Amino acid sequence: MAGLTLLVAFLLLLVFAFVRKHPREAAPLVILGFYGCAYAVLVTLGRARNGYNDWFLTSRYTTSALTLTLAVTGLGLRELQNRAGGRAALARQVTLTAVFGLALANSVAGFRLAKKEAILRSASMRLLDYADIFDSRVDGMPTGPFYALCPIDGSRLLDWGISPARRAGLIPGLRQIVPEGTAQGSWHRETGHRQVWYLAHNYRVERLSGILEAVRGGFHPDIVLIRAANERHFSAFGLLDRDHWQIDLSLAMAKHLPDPVEIFALETATGRLVQLTR
């Protein structure tokens, strides 16, 4: 909403600049604003095919958006500078406050998206120690275990990146899972699909959510894993928030994981794994 408001303000001030016949003075600010708009268009086009290389830079949410903020600020002050009196001064103060407020709101939203990405990537990094417990067929699939590390559909990160690096000794070797029985829990799979923000992109997903009701002392799981019933390998993961967890499955992943499914809780620091039972 903040971005849309800034865009509308920019277009209105652009019209005023031409109506009041000072386009030459406003030209640098107009170019700055158009740069921010063009950048947004390029990002949108890239996301449409999951091929925009700058996906890996969380600063993309804020850096280029600030160009539109600067353009609106400059054009607004340029529009008011020739007006005298107390009302003009008050208008300048209101303009600056409003624009910087919108810029702050936009930046806060960007930081939130970046934080969510950082949490997912951190979890995927921890799971690299146990990469052999995951189904190789889901490598490169949206909402897969390592998709957050390279969010490009069909990019098989384990094949071209992780496994060669591990063989070359550039990253630590695999760790062993330590099965430790079962723990009481509950979960449900929502019917239908919902639109969610995943890695700052809008996906249609199926969601599983549940509660880890009881665990033995000293066991502190941080990730939940899911696999099809009677399968050996896992396909996706979710994050634990105290005793609550949820797993979002892209449409492709949901087809790969029809009911019934099995849910496990993993303590990545030690490799201890327990199966949740209803």
Q: Are 26 and 78 in contact (CB under 8 A)?
A: yes
The number of residues in the chain equals 278
Express each pLDDT in 84-125 by its tens digit: 555 666 766 776 677 677 767 766 766 777 778 888 889 999
Catalogue all structural domains in the chain, each as residue range(s) with its CATH number: 2-124 (no CATH), 127-167 (no CATH), 178-277 (2.60.40)
| 164 vs 170: CA distance, rounded Å | 9
Q: What angle do CA 264, 267, 270 make, to 5 degrees?
A: 130
Q: With cut-offs at 50, 70 and 90, classify the pLDDT of residue 51.
A: very low
- Two tokens at 209? 């959510």
| 197 vs 180: CA distance, rounded Å | 34
149 vs 109, more confident: 149
The b-or-e profile of 7-46 (16+ CB within 10 A means b, else e) is bebbeebbeebeeeeeeeebeebbebbeebbebeeebeee
Express each pLDDT in 196-229 by its tens digit: 877 767 788 999 999 988 777 788 999 999 999 9
Q: What is the pLDDT of residue 66?
A: 63
Q: Are 149 and 157 in contact (CB under 8 A)?
A: yes
75 vs 182, more confident: 182
| 267 vs 274: CA distance, rounded Å | 9
| 242 vs 61: CA distance, rounded Å | 29
- Two tokens at 155? 């990019």
pTM over 0.75: no
Does the pLDDT of residue 62 top 80, yes or no? no
